[in-house]
Structure 1
């Protein structure tokens, strides 16, 4: 065995240990979000923090840095897109970020996030924003301190954005969002000026058990492998990965709203399909995961919206749904149901928002994050700023904070900064990638109308999933589409679909 091969093997052993520790921490988080009793919150915070600190200490061990230095000539001698060159390159990037963050700080932030999450789960149902203020103020302070470990930034949010969407900057995202908002607002106005579509067929009683079973049947058809994954219930839907053999989703079911649970399930399945589709050869390394929040959201939005809100999908699955819920939907036509699931309205809840208004919800959050980080907005004033932004952008405002600034878990169980931009960027990319998929596999819509997804799933697996994090999001977008992020495919998609639905 050559010296380089030996050192590469040693690096992989060390990285697998870090991966296993991070996965153990993810199990603890998954349990907290699904089955853990409230009394376990304090201890769970310590446990999660300990796992994060140990993983961080192992990853930033100087021996890892020495191995990366010794392996740099090997990386430079290999093709850029080879697994080993990518491993060395991406690990170095992550190592250089990680060594800037003291393990004790990471543990402190992790423990605080766990406490903040638990406070949110108790305060949100009670509509008690005041209870969360001390947690959010500390989160804001910790987020600023985290950014300051990376001096030289153009905007304080840039380092935080880079954790989720490496290679993106505040100025770039603001430019994209400004262009997107300028195209969406007139479209929303044109649609909402019409009589609202009737969605009462979705607001009947749909038993939880049958909803879960129908959703699981659908995502199994998508290609979700239940021998390597499972679905559970939670407060706020999410997907998590413990290994290539254990990728889990958690959904939220409302028995008086079919769309809430079903589209949460198909959304999270898109994340899970991405993770299950990563090349197994990358397992145990920093490459064995989706490459960015925006890329991940592009996949969840593809399966949630382009596929499972599309007419071809329901041409096949609506008769199955009617058999599952004959009393509720037996006399409801496909046209009525299709219009209902694609109803456009000025709504308060991001996760319930339609395709046309959804990105506006995200842009509001992105701008509020920036204002808090810049010091232009204090946490105590967040509800008022939130309500004002909603009035200005969507023409409505919440009557209670649980439907306003408390609705999302992100700031309460994570950081402030870099938490939301991926959702809107993912919307844009979902349409951009889907256009490329149709060029390569024009039979996709016909296959979907027959309840088959092999062509689409196969194209996504080959072009996106299998690469894991070998490429940055900008690199992968360029490889797949031949250009950078482009809002035009998304605008075309919305205009064609909703032009037909609303005869624009």
Structure 2
């Protein structure tokens, strides 16, 4: 009647009777004598905690692969990551999980719908239904390719040759197209892929949002093109990498990044990654002759990290710090919500006039003699200058979203089949010319610059723009409702803003949806107007636009 399996549970050979009994009694056979013990909410938390363990183990391997692993380790690492991803998915969709879910659902049936317990039960049930639509072999193929393709992408980028990466990207697009059709969608296959990162976002919603942003930002871009350019030569001096890393970390700590629970390393493409709130690591990249890259990269990733470090400790190792849809151990409710924190700290704080009023002396001291001929005002204007650039992560605050709109629109076309991968560089270069007036010199500065496609993260680029919109909306509300927050920022005190964000956003983990979070914090759902107003006011002042 029973057999032993790797989950260390005795199970019935015939699934149908076992499921029927479980749904009636919320039970799980614990031993070969057939004695039944009830499954409970506690069992659900323990079982989902093991899913979280698999995902965190994968995150550690990913961090190592992107910071320290020798190139030759890529092939075996891809299989290791695939094994962990499939194991996490199989445990999530296992009969054990379903029995625990049935018991937890019965036990918590009287809880309010927005309680942590009710939200956990609902999220687990939704995640099981989501993943059961994706064939296991498809997940394995995607995960293996995502790990292996990173090295192919890195080589192609180094050699500025898209043809090296094109076969892997073609396969990745095909896999994502298969996933979209397996998951199902109402209007556009790209909708199914965006759901993984930004639940509820669709092409039909994204297009008018992009149009509103273009309408608000293009006049600024055109006005700045005719205005006098700020001095910025001093940003391109020979800044020693060790001194850059030291100052970047100092500023990350200053805004609130806790290095007793984190660390800063270098990488090709900056990222933040967490293995619970007590181990949240960030990376940045260093250019010897362009210092802002390391500094603002660190501030950006510190914003991500502070989201994770300030999640309610009670949610550790639960679905409220585990994205069971995307299979990431992450506490942010959506990738856009997560991006709101990084963009807020990088741009609304780190690039503000108040920030440099407080810290310009420190950056001069960090690079003795190198900035002595620069004023505080010149530095502020230089790090906020707006000029079209080829590289997204180096783009200024105003033109950044044009990079995002380009990527999201090209992705959608690749997924619906209206754009072939082989034609991607031509389409990319044409869009850069139309939107930013730039002639892309090579693939490394064009279509190969982002790591996302190599790992299979198709559908995630819209999150950056949504994060920008959310950041402005949250900052506008925080400063507007609490004048003491801006006063504190003016004095170099970041705790009041950090506390407000912890209260309104970070502590809740994945308990609330993105729009619920915004509604609770700002009184409305996603609204681009504060963002457009922020950009208009800031750049009109810097460039003396009418």
TM-score normalised to the size of structure 2? 0.90
Q: What residue number does 2:303 align with?
A: 270
Alignment of structure 1 residues 3-82 onto 2, 5 Å: 7-82=40-115
**Counterpart residue number, 1:481:** 522
How far apart are residue 3 of structure 1 and its match? 7.7
> Does the aligned pair in 1 maintain the 2:198–2:336 contact within 8 Å?
yes
**Structure 1 residues 61 and 440: alpha-carbon distance in aligned structure 2, compared to 1, 3 A threshold:** same
Indicate if the aligned counterparts of 1:15 and 1:286 stay in contact, CA closer than 8 A.
yes
Which aligned pairs between 1:44-123 and structure 2 lie closer than 5 A?
44-123=77-156
**Superposed displacement of residue 387, structure 1:** 0.5
Structure 1 counterpart of 2:373, from 331, 341, 346 = 331
Point out which structure has higher relative CO (alpha carbons under 8 A, 6+ apart).
Answer: 1
Summarize the Cα distance change of 1:152–1:219 in structure 2 as closer, same or farther, 3 Å threshold.
closer
Q: Show the counterpart of 2:417.
A: 375
Which position in structure 2 is the counterpart of 1:430?
Answer: 471
Whichever structure has more helix as a proportion of its residues is 1
8 Å Cα contact 2:273-2:282 kept in structure 1:
yes
Q: Please point out which of 179, 182, 187 is paired with 1:154.
A: 187
Whole-Å separation in 1 of the counterparts to 2:348 and 2:185: 40
- Structure 2: how far apart are the matches of 1:369 and 1:162? 14
**Number of the residue aligned with 2:439:** 397
Tell me how far apart the structure 1 counterparts of residues 107 and 222 of structure 2 sit (CA, whole Å): 56
Distance 1:191 1:93 in 2: 47
Where in structure 2 are the equivalents of 1:158-169 lying within 5 Å?
A: 158-169=191-202
Are 1:459 and 2:512 matched, yes or no? no
1:142 is matched with which residue: 170, 175, 191? 175
Provide the aligned C-alpha RMSD in A. 1.5
Task: Say which SS state the counterpart of residue 403 (structure 1) adopts.
Answer: coil
Q: Which residue of 2 aligns with 1:442?
A: 483
- Which runs of 5 or more structure 2 residues have no equivalent in the other structure? 1-24, 28-37, 322-330
Matched positions, count: 502
The answer as to whether partners of 2:386 and 2:396 remain within 8 angstroms in 1 is yes
- Partner SS for 1:249: strand
* Structure of higher CA gyration radius: 2
How far apart are 1:211 and its partner, in Å? 1.1
Contact 2:41 2:105 in 1 (8 A): no
- CA drift at 1:224: 1.1
| TM-score, with structure 1 as normaliser | 0.97
Q: For the residues of structure 2 that align with 1:309 and 1:187, how far apart are their CA atoms?
A: 18
1:139 and 1:415 in contact (8 A); partners too: no
Given that 1:240 and 1:249 are in contact with CA atoms closer than 8 Å, whether structure 2 keeps it comes out as yes
The C-alpha deviation readout for 1:251-284, integer Å capped at 9, x for no partner, is 1011111111100000000000001111111111
Tell me which residue corresponds to 1:208.
241
Match of 1:318 in 2: 360
1:357 aligns with 2:390: no
Question: Does 2:205 correspond to 1:175?
Answer: no
Q: Distance between the aligned counterparts of 2:107 and 2:118, measured in 1? A: 7
